[in-house]
C-alpha cells in the first residue's frame, strides 16, 4: 500500500494554526469531518490521543506521526499538516515539531499500518524531502512531493 493511496489533497493542511499537540491532532483528525470512511470522528480523535499517551509519536527532526488503530474507520486514512509555528510534541530528540502525518488504520489491518509507518519514517528521514515539504505552500504541492518521493522509493527498492 502506498502513502498516496491513503492521503488525499483535501486532508492536507499546508498552514496549521494549532499551538499544542492535542489541537494539532484534532485539526488533522477533523479534516475528515464529512468523509464517508469515518464512522465516529470523536472516537478516532480519542483513539489517537490514547495512543499518544503510551509514547510520543514525535519521531525527531521536526516530524511526528500520530497514529492509531480503530474500527471507527472503514479503511486506512491519512492526513498531513505543516504547522505555522513549531510545537512541543515530546519528541525523541526534544526538538519541536513542524510536520505531522496522521495515520489511522483499522484494527485488522495491522500489517499495512506498520508498513505505512515504516515508509513514512524512511521518507521523513530524508533531509531534502523534509525541507521541500517545509517550503511547500499548497496542499497540491505537498501531495505532489509525497507522490514524487514515493515513486523514487519504489524505483529504488
Residues with catalytic function: 67
CA quadruple 146, 151, 154, 157: dihedral sign: negative
- The residue among 95, 16, 25 whose CA lies nearest residue 53 is 25
Torsion of CA 47, 97, 27, 30, to 10 degrees: -40
Please give the Cα distance from 118 to 98 (Å, whole number).
19
Helix or strand or coil: residue 15? Answer: strand
In the DSSP assignment, the letter for residue 101 is E
Amino acid at each position: 500500500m502506498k502513502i498516496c493511496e491513503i492521503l488525499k489533497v483535501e486532508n492536507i493542511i499546508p498552514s496549521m494554526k494549532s499551538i499544542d499537540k492535542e489541537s494539532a491532532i484534532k485539526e488533522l483528525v477533523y479534516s475528515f469531518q464529512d468523509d464517508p470512511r469515518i464512522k465516529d470522528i470523536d472516537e478516532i480523535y480519542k483513539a489517537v490521543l490514547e495512543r499518544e499517551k503510551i509514547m510520543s509519536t514525535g519521531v525527531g527532526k521536526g516530524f511526528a506521526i500520530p497514529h492509531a488503530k480503530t474500527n471507527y474507520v472503514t479503511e486506512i486514512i491519512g492526513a498531513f499538516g505543516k504547522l505555522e509555528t513549531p510545537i512541543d510534541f515530546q519528541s525523541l530528540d526534544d526538538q519541536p515539531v513542524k510536520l505531522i502525518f496522521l495515520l489511522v488504520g483499522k484494527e485488522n489491518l495491522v500489517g499495512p499500518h506498520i508498513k505505512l509507518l515504516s515508509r513514512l519514517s524512511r521518507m521523513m528521514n530524508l533531509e531534502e524531502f523534509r525541507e521541500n515539504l517545509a517550503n511547500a505552500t499548497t496542499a497540491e504541492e505537498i501531495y505532489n512531493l509525497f507522490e514524487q518521493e514515493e515513486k523514487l522509493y519504489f524505483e529504488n527498492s
